[in-house]
Amino acid sequence: MSIQVIINNIPYLAKGFLVTLELAIISIILSFILGTLLGIVKLAKNPIISTLASVYIEIVRGTPLIMVVFWIFFLLPILLSKPIQPFTSAVAAFSIFTSAYIAEIVRAGIQSIPVGQIEAALSSGLSYWQTMRFIILPQATTKMIPPLVSQFISLFKDTSLAYIIGVMELTRRATIINNREFKSFEIFTFVAIIYFMICYSMSKYAKYLERKRRIV
């Protein structure tokens, strides 16, 4: 086992790691916003928007992520008649895919709150959206943290699929180094350790937040 190949390529891999981090952070933010809206809309009393949200969620959840990546990267430029950068395509694909799972987490979190609280808030004059924002979601957040973080961890690991469409993230750069150096074990073990450290840190931080909110 040669560590020198890792040392020689740390600057190159570091650039890929920053791209992976940027890709994950943007996708997490966008998927959380979209997923939260979908989860709320799915529980709305309006049957039309509720059904549309349900159909969207089921279609996306029933589709492999790699297919969503291909659809966005290959088909969207044809429909829009303009090219889309690989990074943008990856962000869109990861955000769309993950939002469907976050929507179900949000829905379950909202439904864990007694219905009486929603009815009381609505009867006091608050709108449906105000009720969700000020009354329900703050209470549901604690119960949503573990599954949300689990989903975010999955998203972070899924960013490695972006290498298929040419995004120069960590996995793609590792593959390029391996094609040149033929040191598969050293390179991909190092990359796996990086992924593990980030995911483990996210998991520990989520547990800290959960304990903190329970104390409060």
**What CATH number is given to the structural domain containing 129?**
1.10.3720.10
What is the C-alpha separation between 172 and 178, in angstroms, rounded? 10
Q: pLDDT 10s digit of each residue in the chain, 216 long?
A: 678 888 888 999 999 999 999 999 999 999 999 999 999 999 888 889 999 999 999 999 999 999 999 999 999 888 888 888 999 999 999 999 999 999 999 999 988 888 788 788 778 878 877 888 888 888 888 788 888 988 999 999 999 999 999 999 999 999 999 999 888 888 999 999 999 999 999 888 888 877 776 655
**Cβ atoms 169, 159 nearer than 8 A:** yes
For residue 215, the model assigns a pLDDT of 59
Write out the chain in H/E/C secondary structure. Answer: CCCHHHHHCHHHHHHHHHHHHHHHHHHHHHHHHHHHHHHHHHCCCCHHHHHHHHHHHHHHHCCCHHHHHHHHHHHHHHHHCCCCCHHHHHHHHHHHHHHHHHHHHHHHHHHCCCHHHHHHHHHCCCCHHHHHHHHHHHHHHHHHHHHHHHHHHHHHHHHHHHHHHCCCCHHHHHHHHHHHHCCHHHHHHHHHHHHHHHHHHHHHHHHHHHHHHHHC
At 87, list the tokens. Answer: 């990074």
What is the C-alpha separation between 112 and 65, in angstroms, rounded? 29
Of 181, 152, 179, 192, which Cα lies nearest the Cα of 17? Answer: 192
At 30, list the tokens. Answer: 């966008």
The amino acid sitting at 24 is A
Query: 78-93 burial by CB neighbour count: b if 16+ within 10 A, else e?
Result: eeeeeebebbebbbbb
For residue 151, the model assigns a pLDDT of 93
| Count of the separate structural domains present in the chain | 1
The count of C-alpha atoms lying within 13 angstroms of the C-alpha of 30, restricted to the half-sphere facing its C-beta, is 17
What is the C-alpha separation between 36 and 30, in angstroms, rounded? 10
Find all residues with CB under 8 Å of 105, minimum gap 6, and list them. 35, 39, 144, 147, 148, 151
For residue 3, the model assigns a pLDDT of 83
The amino acid sitting at 60 is V
For residue 216, the model assigns a pLDDT of 56
Domain extent at residue 31: 4-215
